[in-house]
Structure 1
Amino acid sequence: MSDQLFKQDELSLVQNRLPVWLEESKQLCDKGKVASYIPELAHAPRQALGIHLMDASGKSVSGGDCGLSFTMQSISKIFTLLLALMDNGEKAVFDKVGMEPTGDNFNSMLKLELVQPGIPFNPLINAGAIVISSLIAGGSTKEKADRTLQFFRTLANNDSLSVDKAVYESEAETADLNRSMAYFLKDNGVLEGDVNDVLDVYFRHCSIQVQCKDLARMALVLAFDGTDPITGVNLIPRRYVQIAKTFMVTCGMYNASGEFAIEVGLPAKSGVAGGILTMVPGRYGIGVVGPSLNAKGNSIAGVHLLETMSKEMDWSLF
């Protein structure tokens, strides 16, 4: 059987089995909670669960509530990291942020003071992502935010992506902890530029609104090492995608990253709006949404769905 034929048969199998998998995973929604520390996120439908999977030819399989719109939240951190690497190179970026998991909550600032040299442990925790936001090139806050949005639009092949104004304002109004981290980083000489300007860029990229199909297309570019396989255009240097995917395995699912690597075995990044971006390298980009979160801040039904699919389809990299 040819590789292409195998992929076609596999997609057909996924399409046939998907309704059953979705129904099984959706039963977990009642066991989780929708994020509420950003008040606007509390309006998300707790029972929703959707998925979109896309292959290199653009063929897609989707199901459930895949048309639900939601904000990227921490998923955006993968792509601002990539943009910062493209703007500055590895040395400049990793002089400011580390490469290790923290073992702490994503919004913790504990180790900034306890562990020298006082830089964030990695780019996917809030402190690290705030520093990364300061490294995006641009002559003004608006230019930095606009460049980020355009980068996301290009990767998703969707020029209609935009910032959800209500979520952006809700984040900005309730961001005392993020402001505390940013001012600490500024005082420590890690964060350059005006704190409020940097945070504005950060809040805006976290508030970019997407659907599962957008995450799947963005993931597809990562699955093919920075080249959009549908257009053939290289969008990101392969080395930087390798770095990003490694962070996704080690840090992408908050404090459940090790468990996710064992149970699912795919690079992934989650966000507290319920999104999960993941991929089967060299084959598929996958976007999932399920706003009901587990105790670690990941979509409870979305994680279960990906565990089921990965095990039944033998997708784990390990």
Structure 2
Amino acid sequence: MLCESNEELDVLVEEARPFTKNGKVADYIPELGKANPDDLSIAIHYPDGNCVAAGEVRRKITLQSISKVLSLALVLMDRGQDYVFERVGMEPTGDPFNSIAKLETMGIARPLNPMINAGALAVTHMIKGSSVDERLQRLLEFVKEMAENREVSVNEKVARSEFETAHLNRALCYFLKQHGVVTEDVEPLMDLYTKQCAIEMDCRDLADIGLVFAMDGVNPATGKRIMPADVARICKTFMVTCGMYNASGEFAIKIGIPAKSGVSGGIMGAVPGKVGIGIFGPALDEKGNSIGGIKLLELLSEKYSLSMF
């Protein structure tokens, strides 16, 4: 996707950029710790095919938790709502994304929603295929179709870095396996999940994916339906209620658009019927969201009245 530079967006990016000084890159994943915390970029893709951008838009970004929305969409198409939501709930937690607390204290092992790590691991477990590679390729093909970019791939260095340090996610997997939510071996599931999180693109691709969700599952450039409208609706609803970790309520009030963040500093936004937004700003706040990206979305939402509420 070719995006034109835009002076208004340039001004907003530079207004938000100083806020990156108050954040910190996700150095608990060694490869992500190498990012430049000052980076901040945005792309906005409109249904008529226009795309505008500002900042370091060519900078590559791994999806991390943004991939949770995409794997959920694929699994809902693979398995259907009843199957998926018998195993994963629909409720926000108010806890950090990697918390195990609710699994233990609620008396049921079913993760509360697909946007926390436990829920995302359960969803990834549901991707159909006879091997890690086959399942990954199915997800990757789906992501490439949404982004309209055949170059989208997995960053093997980031995947390896995550696989070697993902001890808490392994603990979540073993807990889920103990209670029958996960039935496969933990290491292959961790291999698939860390590669899923390491799918890499730039914020222009993110904006393209956001636009497909914004347009209820249809690529407006081709008219092709990529997912059923109901799947897009469910995913957007989770983005509103759980997409920004345990800051989702505040985000809904201040900005008011369906969005999903990842600890690499990416944010994918989908303004229903209007635009797809992709943001990259690797300096994170204490909740794990891009601190400059959230400020940029605040400025954008205020200036262009993007809130759906």
Q: TM-score range by the shorter chain?
A: over 0.9
Partner of 2:132: 141
Q: Tell me which stretches of 4 or more aligned residues in structure 1 moved more than 4 Å.
A: none
Aligned twin of 2:79: 88
Q: Take 1:131 and 1:263, find their aligned partners in 2: how far apart are those partners?
A: 31
Q: Distance in 2 between matches of 1:84 and 1:302?
A: 29
Q: For residue 11 of structure 2, what is the aligned residue in structure 1?
A: 20
- 8 Å contact 2:40–2:281 — kept in the other structure? yes
Q: Which residue identity lines up with residue 117 of structure 1 in the other structure?
A: I
Match of 1:286 among 249, 271, 277: 277
CA displacement at 1:16 relative to structure 2: 3.6
Deviation for aligned residue 1:95: 0.8
Distance 1:142 1:302 in 2: 33
Q: Which residue of 2 aligns with 1:104?
A: 95
Structure 1 residues without counterparts, runs of 5 or longer: 1-10
Shift of 1:15: 3.2
Which deviations, in whole Å up to 9, do the C-alpha atoms of 1:199-229 show, x marking residues without a partner? 2111111001110011000111000000101
Q: State the Cα RMSD in Å.
A: 1.3
Shift in Å, 1:141? 1.4
Match of 2:52 in 1: 61
Query: How big is the shift at 1:192?
Result: 1.8
Give the whole-Å Cα distance in 2 for the aligned partners of 1:161 and 1:18.
25
Amino acid at match of 2:120: A
Q: Cα deviations across residues 105-164 of structure 1 (Å, max 9, x unaligned)? A: 000011111113211110010000000001001111111011111111111011111110
Q: What amino acid maps onto 1:95 in structure 2?
A: E
Gaps of 5+ in 2: none
Q: Give 3-state SS (helix, strand or coil) of 1:226's partner.
A: coil
Structure 1 length-normalised TM: 0.95
Per-residue CA deviations over 1:39-97 (Å, capped at 9, x if unaligned) read 11000011000000011122110001111101000000000000010000001100111
- The alignment status of 1:156 with 2:165, answered yes or no, reads no
Per-residue deviation, 1:196: 1.3
- The whole-number CA distance in structure 2 between the counterparts of 1:38 and 1:180 is 17
Q: Distance in 1 between matches of 2:276 and 2:236?
A: 13
User: Does the CA contact (< 8 Å) of 2:236 and 2:270 recur in 1?
Assistant: no
The Cα shift of 1:280 comes to: 1.6
2:104 corresponds to 1:129: no
Partner letter of residue 238 of structure 1? A
Count of matched residue positions in the alignment of Structure 1 and Structure 2: 307
SS in 1 for 2:151: coil
2:178 pairs with one of 187, 192, 196: 187
Partners of 2:67 and 2:197 within 8 A in 1 = yes
